[in-house]
């Protein structure tokens, strides 16, 4: 499949604005965002006015807009990094591409700027292969194919639900790791896209992600909120939790999740050591989450994404609720999210 | 933290702990190119085909060579489990080795260059892979976290960062990819190159990564550029019954890979894939390949679901036990697909018996190889 064939009308680029001045961000992405519709959602806790350069087809949503759609009490669900989920909620497009506002286009080893949007959409439009690992990675890529020994019955693949991109410069490491290796930056450009096998768990980062909204939109849940959640990725886990849910639901429904290209360049921001000072409860929550997801089995009767989320929320409450209030809140948020999704998307 | 392993510099050579196993039916000229990397290691050459043919081995290598006469003499009736006229016979080399690690490579594989033009020391990379842990229980999106410059990403559970022991390191190939016959027929290389105005050989992308194949996931294991911990997983590395007198070929490494992965998953060990690359020079004849693979193409559709659903009982605590249990299940479940699987299951049992025989007692004079040792 040629990557030049993507239909821009099928894509919304959703940006969560945690920084008021989006000039550098949008200017650097202009070559790749132009022609696309943008949804910019302002963190409801951000006080300053957003600064958005001219020349983009963009709709901006702030706290007032959120409250009109979901009500005042529910707008807290969309604070901080979770503001982007409001964009997912109200979008009408098939594909969503979402990039953190502190990232700019990366350069590939040849020195060319990486068109992350096109790469993400290409990933989403090509089948995924979660049922058997292809040692040459993405078999649909030009120059590659399925290797000897790959079962023929599995070569048509399955629909791709999500495309998880990576980061050069500041990688998405946790605070303890980055604090220990203050100088470490990711300089390794791994030229591959691959499907993460079914049943395998992974930490999905929200920094550079795309998904098929028509297929799995409701599964991207703004649910887990750390007590000390902050405005740097080191102080959040919402995307990791969202990703665990998304992967599990994708596996259950027979969809695939890809990882690898495209890379974005993540600018220097924040201080890992500073973030480390906060009590890092994310670690404990992850430890509890893993055995839960490992043993979780969604009922066979859950055939729609919305039902999967509800069942998952039920299981979270039952099995993790007593471990930490954050889990109960997450479960409640997941249920509320589906209610909102159904109400917003059925009235359109 | 992950960097504990990356700080082991330089990579130990393991020259007294690793054997290089090479099956051959032609010659070993390719060793000339590998000399700087292989010269210090002991080679085990398994000569397939006509035992009266003299295989030319370049000067200066330390090796032992086994032809079919040696295999028959050493194993007696158990030699029936070792394939003839197929590179599957290489697994005899695993059996007679006394080393902890094995590296096996095909005789049409040469030293590749990385994108900077530097020659790749494939063996060194395999050793790095084997000596550092794997991460089969949770996928790291930055691939091998123990590699220099990499680490575990945010969200990766801390309790899993110690990793699992690595049993297998599966390397890849540049130039001629390891495609099956139907794919080779559909994508003849020259046609492709001319059409798109590309250099004659369509190179595979150089993907600068090593990663662990997650637990519960099967993969097509290619025997062209493969290393493993023999002490750990050796008994499961049986390359099956292929070639002469058998209804199937070019599935030897596939079969071993499915068995190995199921057992590694059961034992909690890791299988890595990715770097290193070697340069694969010879494209085999797709029509010949199709004849060999024909049955395999259909049989794998049955075999894969079998391996995907197999559970080994908790009581199987050794690789040999796991393997014998697998053999039993192969006979039971796949025997109905074709009687070949019953023969194969018998071969699997014979292999374990032979492995035990050769590896639990001292080798006598009578078992010494035919070939010269320097």
> B4-52 pLDDT, tens per residue?
444 446 777 899 999 999 999 989 999 999 999 999 999 999 999 999 9
Give which of B131, B64, B72 is closest to B98, Cα–Cα. B64
Give which of B190, B215, B310 is closest to A196, Cα–Cα. B215
Task: Check pLDDT > 60 for residue B372.
Answer: no
**Cα–Cα distance measured from residue B197 to residue B189, given in angstroms and rounded to the nearest whole number:** 12
- Domain assignment present for residue A243? The answer is yes
With a CB cutoff of 8 Å and minimum separation 6, the contacts of B52 are none
DSSP state, residue B113: B
Element (H, E) at A268: none
CA distances from A8 to A13, A93, A95, A109, A138 (A): 10, 10, 10, 27, 23
Residue B162 C-alpha, separation from nearest chain A C-alpha, in angstroms: 14
Task: Check pLDDT > 90 for residue B2.
Answer: no
- Domain assignment present for residue A38? The answer is no
Structure tokens at A242: 């969202």
Q: In degrees, to the nearest 5, what angle opens at C-alpha B193 toward C-alphas B191 and B195?
A: 70
| Beta strands, E only, B25-106 | 42-47, 62-66, 101-105
**Cα–Cα distance measured from residue B99 to residue B15, given in angstroms and rounded to the nearest whole number:** 10
Q: In degrees, to the nearest 5, what angle opens at C-alpha A242 toward C-alphas A287 and A38?
A: 150
- Domain assignment present for residue A64? The answer is no
ipTM of predicted assembly, 2 dp? 0.95
- Domain assignment present for residue A277? The answer is yes
Structure tokens at B104: 């096996």
Mean pLDDT, 10 residues at a time, chain A of 348 residues: 72 96 97 97 94 96 95 92 96 97 96 97 97 95 89 96 97 91 93 97 97 97 87 89 97 98 93 79 89 96 97 97 94 97 83
Q: Which residue has the tokens 């050989």?
A: B201
User: In this predicted structure, what is the pLDDT of residue B204?
Assistant: 64
Say if residues B296 and B345 touch (Cβ distance below 8 Å): no
Task: Check pLDDT > 90 for residue B195.
Answer: no
Q: pLDDT band for B200, please (50, 70, 90 cuts).
A: very low
Structure tokens at A77: 């669900």
Q: pLDDT band for B374, please (50, 70, 90 cuts).
A: very low
- DSSP-assigned letters across all residues of B9-36: -S----TTTEEEEEEESS--TTHHHHHH
User: In this predicted structure, what is the pLDDT of residue A225?
Assistant: 86
Over the range B97-121, which residues count as b (16 or more CB within 10 Å of their CB) and which as e? bebbbbbbbbbbbbbbeeeeeeebb
Say if residues A75 and A333 touch (Cβ distance below 8 Å): no
Pairwise pLDDT comparison (B303 vs A270), residue with the higher score: B303
Which of B138, B141, B251 is nearest residue A166 as measured by Cβ atoms? B141
User: In this predicted structure, what is the pLDDT of residue A141?
Assistant: 87
With a CB cutoff of 8 Å and minimum separation 6, the contacts of B61 are B31, B38, B39, B43, B374
The rounded radius of gyration (Å) of the Cα atoms in chain B is: 20
Residue A57 C-alpha, separation from nearest chain B C-alpha, in angstroms: 33
User: B239-292: per-residue pLDDT in tens?
Assistant: 999 998 999 999 999 999 999 999 999 999 999 999 999 999 887 888 888 888
- Domain assignment present for residue A150? The answer is yes
- Domain assignment present for residue A270? The answer is yes
Q: What is the mean pLDDT of residues B305-316?
A: 96
The rounded radius of gyration (Å) of the Cα atoms in chain A is: 19
Residue A177 C-alpha, separation from nearest chain B C-alpha, in angstroms: 8
**Cα–Cα distance measured from residue A142 to residue A2, given in angstroms and rounded to the nearest whole number:** 9
Domain that holds residue A208: 102-346
Say if residues A223 and A328 touch (Cβ distance below 8 Å): no
pTM of the model: 0.93
Q: Is B340 exposed, middle or buried (0-12, 13-18, 19+ CB in 10 A)?
A: middle
The β-bridge partners of B64 are: B44
User: In this predicted structure, what is the pLDDT of residue A278?
Assistant: 72
Instruction: For chain A, give the number of residues.
Output: 348
- Helices (H) and strands (E) counted in chain B, each on its own, are 12, 9
Name the domain count of chain A: 1
Inform me whether the C-beta atom of residue A200 falls under 8 Å from chain B C-beta atoms.
yes
The runs of H, that is alpha helices, within chain A are 23-33, 63-70, 84-90, 116-125, 175-180, 213-216, 238-253, 272-277, 282-295, 305-320, 325-346
Contact state of A173 with B153 under an 8 Å Cβ cutoff:
yes
Inform me whether the C-beta atom of residue A165 falls under 8 Å from chain B C-beta atoms.
no
Which of B139, B155, B251 is nearest residue A196 as measured by Cβ atoms? B139
Chain B residue numbers touching A111 (CB-CB < 8 A): none
Contact state of B218 with A133 under an 8 Å Cβ cutoff:
yes
Chain B residue numbers touching A152 (CB-CB < 8 A): 182, 297, 301
Q: What is the mean pLDDT of residues B100-124?
A: 95
User: B122-150: per-residue pLDDT in tens?
Assistant: 999 999 999 999 999 999 999 999 998 89
Q: pLDDT band for B155, please (50, 70, 90 cuts).
A: very high
Contact state of B153 with A174 under an 8 Å Cβ cutoff:
yes
- Domain assignment present for residue A36? The answer is no
CATH architecture entry for B18-360: Alpha-Beta Complex (3.90)
- Domain assignment present for residue A239? The answer is yes
Chain A residue numbers touching B304 (CB-CB < 8 A): 132, 151, 154
User: In this predicted structure, what is the pLDDT of residue B148?
Assistant: 87
First to last CA, chain B: 44
């Amino acid at each position: 499949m040629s990557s030049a064939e993507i239909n821009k009308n099928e894509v919304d680029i959703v940006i969560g604005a945690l920084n008021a001045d989006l000039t550098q961000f949008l200017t650097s992405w202009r070559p790749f965002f132009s022609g696309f519709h943008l949804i910019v959602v302002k963190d409801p806790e951000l006080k300053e006015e957003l600064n958005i350069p001219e020349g983009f087809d963009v709709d901006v949503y702030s706290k007032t807009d959120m409250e009109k759609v979901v009500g005042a009490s529910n707008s807290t669900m969309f604070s901080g990094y979770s503001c982007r989920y409001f964009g997912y909620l109200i979008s009408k497009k098939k594909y969503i591409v979402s990039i953190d506002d502190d990232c700019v286009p990366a350069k590939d080893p040849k020195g060319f700027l990486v068109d992350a949007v096109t790469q993400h959409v290409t990933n989403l439009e090509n089948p995924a292969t979660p049922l058997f690992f292809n040692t040459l990675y993405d078999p649909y890529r030009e120059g590659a194919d399925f290797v000897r020994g790959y079962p023929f019955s599995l070569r048509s693949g399955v629909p791709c639900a999500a495309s998880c991109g990576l980061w050069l410069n500041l990688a998405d490491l946790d605070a303890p790791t980055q604090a220990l290796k203050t100088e470490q930056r990711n300089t390794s450009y791994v030229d591959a896209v691959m499907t993460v096998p079914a049943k395998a768990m992974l930490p999905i980062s929200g920094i550079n992600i795309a998904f098929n909204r028509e297929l799995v939109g409701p599964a991207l849940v703004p649910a887990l909120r750390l007590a000390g959640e902050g405005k740097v990725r080191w102080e959040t886990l919402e995307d990791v939790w969202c990703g665990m849910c998304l992967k599990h639901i994708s596996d259950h429904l027979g969809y695939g999740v890809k990882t690898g290209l495209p890379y974005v360049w993540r600018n220097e921001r924040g201080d890992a050591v500073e973030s480390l000072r906060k009590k890092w409860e994310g670690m404990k929550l992850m430890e509890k989450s893993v055995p839960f997801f490992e043993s979780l089995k969604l009922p066979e009767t859950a055939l729609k994404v919305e039902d999967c989320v509800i069942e998952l929320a039920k299981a979270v409450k039952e099995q993790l609720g007593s471990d930490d209030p954050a889990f109960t809140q997450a479960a409640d948020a997941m249920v509320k999210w589906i209610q909102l999704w159904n109400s917003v998307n059925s009235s359109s | 933290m992950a960097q504990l392993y990356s700080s082991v510099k330089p990579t130990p050579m393991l020259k007294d702990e690793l054997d290089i196993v090479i099956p051959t039916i032609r010659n070993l000229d390719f060793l000339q190119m590998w000399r700087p990397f292989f010269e210090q290691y002991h080679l085990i050459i398994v000569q397939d085909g006509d035992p009266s043919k003299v295989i030319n081995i370049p000067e200066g290598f330390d090796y032992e060579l086994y032809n079919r006469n040696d295999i028959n003499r050493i194993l007696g009736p158990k030699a029936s489990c070792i394939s003839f006229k197929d590179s599957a016979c290489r697994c005899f080399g695993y059996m007679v080795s006394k080393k902890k690690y094995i590296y096996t490579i095909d005789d049409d594989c040469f030293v590749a260059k990385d994108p900077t033009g530097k020659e790749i020391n494939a063996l060194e990379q395999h050793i790095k892979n084997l000596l550092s842990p794997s991460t089969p229980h949770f996928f790291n999106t930055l691939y091998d976290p123990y590699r220099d410059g990499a680490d575990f990403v945010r969200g990766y559970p801390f309790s899993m960062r110690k990793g699992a022991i690595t049993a297998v390191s599966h390397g890849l190939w540049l130039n001629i990819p390891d495609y099956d016959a139907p794919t080779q027929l559909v994508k003849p290389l020259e046609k492709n190159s001319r059409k798109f105005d590309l250099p004659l050989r369509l190179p595979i992308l150089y993907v600068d990564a090593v990663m662990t194949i997650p637990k519960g996931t099967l993969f097509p294991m290619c025997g062209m550029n493969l290393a493993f911990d023999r002490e750990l997983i050796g008994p499961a590395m049986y390359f099956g019954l292929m070639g002469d007198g058998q209804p199937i070929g070019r599935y030897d490494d596939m079969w071993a890979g499915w068995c190995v992965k199921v057992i590694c998953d059961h034992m909690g060990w890791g299988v890595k894939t990715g770097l290193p690359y070697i340069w694969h020079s010879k494209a085999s004849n797709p029509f010949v390949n199709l004849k060999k693979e024909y049955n395999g193409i259909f049989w794998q559709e049955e075999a894969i679901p079998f391996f995907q659903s197999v559970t080994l009982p908790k009581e199987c605590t050794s690789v040999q036990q796991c393997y014998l249990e697998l053999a039993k299940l192969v006979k039971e479940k796949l025997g109905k697909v074709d009687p070949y699987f019953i023969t194969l299951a018998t071969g699997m049992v014979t292999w374990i018996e032979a492995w035990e025989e050769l590896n639990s007692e001292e080798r006598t004079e009578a078992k010494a190889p035919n070939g010269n040792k320097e």
